[in-house]
Amino acid sequence: MTPRQSPSAVKPRWVAEGDRYRLLQPAERSLRQQVASSLRDAILTGTLKPGERLVEEDISQGMRTSRGPLREALRQLEQEGLVMSFPYRGSFVSRISTLEVRQVLIPMRATLEGFGFDQALDNLTEDDVTEMRGIIERMEEAVRSGDLIGLVEDDVAFHGLVMSRSGQPHTTQIWGSIAPRMRAYFYTHLREAMPTQEQLVGVAKAHRDLFDALVARDHKRVATLLLEHVQDLPGFPVTDPAP
Amino acid sequence: MTPRQSPSAVKPRWVAEGDRYRLLQPAERSLRQQVASSLRDAILTGTLKPGERLVEEDISQGMRTSRGPLREALRQLEQEGLVMSFPYRGSFVSRISTLEVRQVLIPMRATLEGFGFDQALDNLTEDDVTEMRGIIERMEEAVRSGDLIGLVEDDVAFHGLVMSRSGQPHTTQIWGSIAPRMRAYFYTHLREAMPTQEQLVGVAKAHRDLFDALVARDHKRVATLLLEHVQDLPGFPVTDPAP
DNA sequence: GTACTGACGACTGTCAACAATCGACACTTT
DNA sequence: AAAGTGTCGATTGTTGACAGTCGTCAGTAC
């Protein structure tokens, strides 16, 4: 029996994965979201640098699409704070200051997650717990191998998963526009960030504790751990370089 | 001497205003932003109700444009939390719960404005002060005439003006995605909101005090007044109707 | 040399046609 | 009946062409 053909050659709903086929998630389904995702990665990893101009035709051609989906992706990244646009003048990769991270993003994240985690607590399924456990284990592995980028990604994935289970659409959506900015900040400062191994272990430990409290459905302990942990950015600059 | 002709009949950069011509601001320049603005108004005023489906062709025709700019406007409103979209399924006007307003939006607004006002304080020009005074006076007039909608709009305009002077792009931009949700909440609850005249006077008074503190460049007093004032929504429900 | 003016090229904004997907409903199969 | 399959119309996703705007820079006047 030959494997079933993909229903569409151009934009498959299914993608080969070993000897099985996996259904593409809605998030990956539209070109616009793929484009947004690629662009986001390019900005976060520094392929596109702060201040750099984004020429629509160049980028859309590079991604083998037309400008329509790209422009919609740009509107989305604009709201995620990764891009700034000016009418008839173009779009540019934006910067983010340590001051705003400390004074605004971290407190907002604390508020959002404080509420979101509490709401999510009673919605978590067995599958969610399994997925969370997987992320925690990957995170611990990343710490062992000193993989800073992996650590950041697992961190975001863990918090994002819980937030998505909060059942609070605005909270989840706003969190989704804060997280990329924090990621961008982390990535651009990875070079100067020099966390000790001890600090990294501490981060993983904090998540393991948080995970345990979540599984135990211990609202109060979750809130306590969260507040302790969201505040600090081990190894990252906490004051602006330029005064 | 005849007045200078507009460079383009279709999309004028200049617009007649009495016997003079006014340059259109960038914000009004692109069709996409006009469309976003119209849609936002329609949602806020309740012409489009929560849960209602937004059919692209109908709306774009109604606004005499094509679907391109409309779709970009939808992406923007999506990030402002006024609309939710699902691939190949359409866009819908979203709801917002009192719970999220209390637990998330109000604390976030407090954080954002606490920082933004402080930063803006030393940037305010004479023109800004004049504009602020105008808003405060309109607000006081709205209170006298019992114009609730006018009060909400002047409130948003005042805070928005200060935030835009903070010089903090992310703070300003995030605030711009929070404010429409609060406006939407206010508008949908205007009917049930029954603030007393005394409360309304209190709101205007609070802004007048804030304005005075801003003009005096009194950082500490601004922070204090702000925290007091952002927390309460006079006359609006503070608990969810359905428990 | 400084300030104004008017091409020019590069790019963004907009449009209308085409392709892909969804939900519903009738139809078959068991 | 219940479950599965095929078709259809409505609606969204995508495209390529065209129109409008901006920054630049050469040319001109003073």
Asked if B44 and B180 touch (Cβ cutoff 8 Å), the reply is: yes
What residue type is B229 in one-letter code? Answer: H
Chain A: closest CA distance from residue B108 (Å): 6
Pick the residue of A104, A113, A119, A171 with the most B CBs within 10 A to test the interface with B by mutation: A104
pLDDT band at B10 (very low <50, low <70, confident <90, very high): very low
pLDDT digits (tens, 9 = 90+) for B184-235: 998 888 877 778 888 889 999 999 999 999 999 999 999 999 998 887 666 5
Chain B: closest CA distance from residue A26 (Å): 7
Question: Is residue B142 pLDDT above 80, yes or no?
Answer: yes
What are the tokens at A46?
Answer: 């520094």
Cβ A67 to strand C below 7 Å: yes
Asked if A35 and A63 touch (Cβ cutoff 8 Å), the reply is: yes
Cβ A20 to strand C below 7 Å: no
pLDDT by position in tens, chain A (length 243): 222 222 333 344 444 444 444 444 545 678 899 999 999 999 998 899 999 999 999 999 999 999 999 999 999 999 999 999 998 899 999 999 999 999 999 999 999 999 999 999 999 999 999 999 999 999 999 999 989 889 999 999 999 999 999 999 999 999 999 999 999 998 888 877 778 888 889 999 999 999 999 999 999 999 999 988 887 666 565 544 443
Dist CA A215 CA A130 (whole Å): 10
What are the tokens at A240?
Answer: 């602006």
Question: Is residue B37 pLDDT above 50, yes or no?
Answer: yes
Q: How far is CA B240 from CA A10, B162, B237, B243, in A?
A: 48, 31, 7, 6
A211: nearest Cα among A234, A229, A186, A235: A229
Interface of B with A (CB under 8 A): 26, 29-30, 33, 68, 71-72, 75-76, 78-81, 84, 86-88, 94, 96-97, 99-100, 103-105, 107-108, 111-112, 115, 168-171, 173-174, 177-178, 181
Q: How far apart are the first and last CA of chain B?
A: 69
Q: State the pTM of this model.
A: 0.86
